Structure 1
Amino acid sequence: EKIAQDLADSVVLGCGQFCTNPGLILGIKSAEFSQLINNLTNIMGAKPAQTMLNAGTLKSYTAGLEHLTEHQGIKHLAGQTQQGNQAQPQLFKADVELLLAGDQLLQEEIFGPTTVVIEVEDKAQLIQALQSMNGQLTATLIADEADLTEFADVVPVLEEKAGRLLINGYPTGVEVCDAMVHGGPYPATSDARGTSVGTLAIDRYLRPVCYQNYPQSLLPEALKDSNPLQILRLVNGEMTKEAI
């Protein structure tokens, strides 16, 4: 029940307007996963409506819900009818065959407090389903030690699909730190080599320039032989602060 509560809280945080909002939940068919779905259904159904950033965002959210509701392979599990000036949290369940077939609706983000659960038959189908997905910002495993051992071969698939991998946590909290990667394979980001959060984000505004046979007077301070900035530099394959 705690997993369902924490997951629901993550889905509706900030009215679901975090780009790391958990939009797709995959689990292996079992009594435990069925119980999780039941708990999540009850919790999401009790979540209150929230105000979105603007009317345009709410309009897009409403349109996304309509597409999910009208799809024959997707079932509505919880949530009040979407109306008025606030976004109603929603929970849907989709047939795994839709994901395996590359159904475009499951590849698109519903920006708001909504998520979709998908039940798979076994580990083999889980891996197949993950391989059917486009690039993602994050991928989370909720697992114990035994699960992590049994499902270790899922990790390489996630590495190919997402820029940030979590275990027993929720992706809506994005810390600004050296290690953070807020990006992922296309279409999560247009350039998977970068991040928009963390110190590596500066790389998005840089490009390399090589100076050959330039006099010291025309070189940037960081490249002068005397190293006036006293920065750590790579010189002839070694990191050093020494002058050349």
Structure 2
Amino acid sequence: MTDVDTAATSAARAFEATRSASDAARAGWLTAIADRLDAAADELVAIADEETGLGETRLRGEVARTTGQLRMFAAVVTEGSYLEATIDHAVPDATPPRPDLRRMLRPTGPVAVFSASNFPFAFSVAGGDTASALAVGCPVIVKAHPGHPRLSRRTADLVTEALAAAGAPAGAFALVDGFEAGLELVDHPAITAVAFTGSLGGGRALHDRAAARPAPIPFFGELGSINPVVVTAEADAARGAELAAGFAGSFQLGAGQFCTKPGVVFLPEGSALEAALAPLVGADTPRMLTPSIADGFQSGSERVESVPGVSLVAGSTGGPAVAVTDVATLRAHADELLAEVFGPFALLVRYASRAELADALDELEGSLTATLHAAPDEPVDDLLPRLEAIAGRVLFAGWPTGVAVTWSQHHGGPWPATTSQHTSVGATAVRRFLRPIVYQDAPDAVLPPALRDANPLRIPRRIDGVLSPAG
């Protein structure tokens, strides 16, 4: 394990090489890491299961997701549109005269990544934050999560070996450990951005610390989300029992330890979904990832259940459970009822009318997702704008647990879901670690290849306002 100053100083030196490395070279680094992790999957899954108890099936799937997203980011940077290369040729006879202007995105510098507890591979040492930063030429220093320390160290060893074998400069990647190391990392002047997945309280403290530096830096935090679900009366009447099964599977998946767990469900009074739910909720006390998460689950469940006008409709205190209330109670106790409970707990909110439902949605803060279950031809103009206003992903079928890693994916949302408008999943996750630079009247020979007239990289560009395809 490296100390913070040594790691950050080495990362700053490495940035001189990583920033000028070709997209093909950086894609090779990512592919090498993916290959190394796939080859060690048996070993890594065994360690992860000992430390987290998430089970072999889940963990093998997560390794595949992790190596898949490494390879996807390799494809993103070689395709080239992520650079947003834009050229406006000079127009000397314009009023006023217009110079030659050429703009593209460039890496910010060394990045700090805080691992998550609930995804020991995909949001951890070699997860999406690390992959998207390395992809664009930013060295990465990862702060290990205490919930899986042995896995973090072993994964870091494999990443370091893979980068060295692929020709990446020393210092392009490092791992640090401990609470104080995390604070030092945010404070270190060599660090240019921070990516974090974790609690609202911890993330807010680090966000404020990053903003208070002599030279403030961006903090990209994924913090908390209740992921509201709306079930219309028409949808409930048509398939309430089916929706109950989907909801039960989603909020209990992984012991409810997903940032996209559906935590609040709005449904009509006398709902078929509610009536079918009780036998679908487990009775066993779940194994939580860490003692602090278990304590938070217990206290959060008790907080909601103690509110007057709230009662349990399925499950039991301390285990998977679903509580129920009405819109009036929700409004009167929004602070207690709309705070995230991380674990297999959810709240049903009964509404008496469509107008009451629409007004209740205005009580909600930002979430990663919002789900709308309606009848196929049912008008939803009164609901959809409200859901768009509070979520980064709006679902019209299925349930929000599960985030596909694609070019179009967005995993973010208004505060307190995240601290920014950027995504931590999908191709545009790289945008967090890039900043625009404009070159004015620069000689062609000194321009980055992406902006030269001959387009040697054969990438898509916008030239004089017109999008030009690759080639």
Q: In structure 2, what is the equivalent of residue 85 of structure 1? A: none
Q: Decide whether the 8 Å contact of 2:257 with 2:343 is kept in 1.
A: yes
Aligned match for 1:96, one of 300, 322, 327: 327
Q: In structure 2, what is the equivalent of residue 50 of structure 1? A: 286
- CA apart distance, 1:120: 0.9
Bigger helix fraction: 2
Aligned match for 1:211, one of 422, 427, 439: 439
Q: In structure 2, what is the equivalent of residue 66 of structure 1? A: 302
Alignment of 1:1-244 (within 5 A): 1-29=241-269, 31=270, 33=271, 35-44=272-281, 46-82=282-318, 88-101=319-332, 103-146=334-377, 148-149=378-379, 151-191=380-420, 193-240=421-468
Q: Decide whether the 8 Å contact of 1:102 with 1:133 is kept in 2.
A: no
**Tell me, what secondary structure is at the counterpart of 1:181?**
coil
After superposition, the C-alpha distances for 1:88-122 in whole angstroms (9 at most, x for unaligned) are 10111123123334621222110001100000111
- CA apart distance, 1:67: 0.9
**Tell me, what secondary structure is at the counterpart of 2:285?**
coil
**More displaced 10-residue stretch of structure 1: 207-216 or 54-63:** 207-216
* CA distance in structure 2 between the partners assigned to 1:165 and 1:129 by the alignment: 17
In structure 1, runs of 5+ residues without a counterpart are 83-87
Q: Decide whether the 8 Å contact of 2:307 with 2:333 is kept in 1.
A: no
Q: What TM-score, normalized to structure 2?
A: 0.47
**Tell me, what secondary structure is at the counterpart of 1:51?**
coil
- CA apart distance, 1:64: 0.6
Change (3 A) 1:66 1:241: closer
* CA distance in structure 1 between the partners assigned to 2:275 and 2:470 by the alignment: 64
Amino acid at match of 2:284: P
Structure of larger gyration radius: 2
* CA distance in structure 2 between the partners assigned to 1:72 and 1:236 by the alignment: 63
* CA distance in structure 1 between the partners assigned to 2:352 and 2:470 by the alignment: 61
**Tell me, what secondary structure is at the counterpart of 2:462?**
strand
* CA distance in structure 1 between the partners assigned to 2:446 and 2:322 by the alignment: 61
* CA distance in structure 1 between the partners assigned to 2:276 and 2:441 by the alignment: 68
Q: Decide whether the 8 Å contact of 1:227 with 1:241 is kept in 2.
A: no
**Tell me, what secondary structure is at the counterpart of 2:399?**
coil
* CA distance in structure 1 between the partners assigned to 2:330 and 2:364 by the alignment: 7
* CA distance in structure 2 between the partners assigned to 1:169 and 1:189 by the alignment: 23
After superposition, the C-alpha distances for 1:163-182 in whole angstroms (9 at most, x for unaligned) are 11111210002111112111
Q: 4+ residue stretches of structure 1 with deviation over 4 A?
A: none
* CA distance in structure 2 between the partners assigned to 1:39 and 1:51 by the alignment: 26
- CA apart distance, 1:236: 0.1
**Tell me, what secondary structure is at the counterpart of 1:153?**
coil
Q: Decide whether the 8 Å contact of 2:302 with 2:317 is kept in 1.
A: no
Q: Percent identity?
A: 38
* CA distance in structure 1 between the partners assigned to 2:433 and 2:368 by the alignment: 20
Change (3 A) 1:240 1:128: same
* CA distance in structure 2 between the partners assigned to 1:231 and 1:119 by the alignment: 53
Q: Decide whether the 8 Å contact of 1:181 with 1:197 is kept in 2.
A: yes
- CA apart distance, 1:214: 2.4
Q: Decide whether the 8 Å contact of 2:283 with 2:316 is kept in 1.
A: no
Aligned residue pairs: how many?
A: 231
* CA distance in structure 1 between the partners assigned to 2:306 and 2:346 by the alignment: 16
After superposition, the C-alpha distances for 1:175-224 in whole angstroms (9 at most, x for unaligned) are 11112111111111111x21111111111112212121223333222112
- CA apart distance, 1:241: 5.6
Change (3 A) 1:213 1:133: same
**Tell me, what secondary structure is at the counterpart of 1:127?**
helix
Superposition CA RMSD, Å: 1.9
Q: What TM-score, normalized to structure 1?
A: 0.88
After superposition, the C-alpha distances for 1:26-53 in whole angstroms (9 at most, x for unaligned) are 0122x4x1x3212112322x35332111
Amino acid at match of 1:165: V
In structure 2, runs of 5+ residues without a counterpart are 1-240
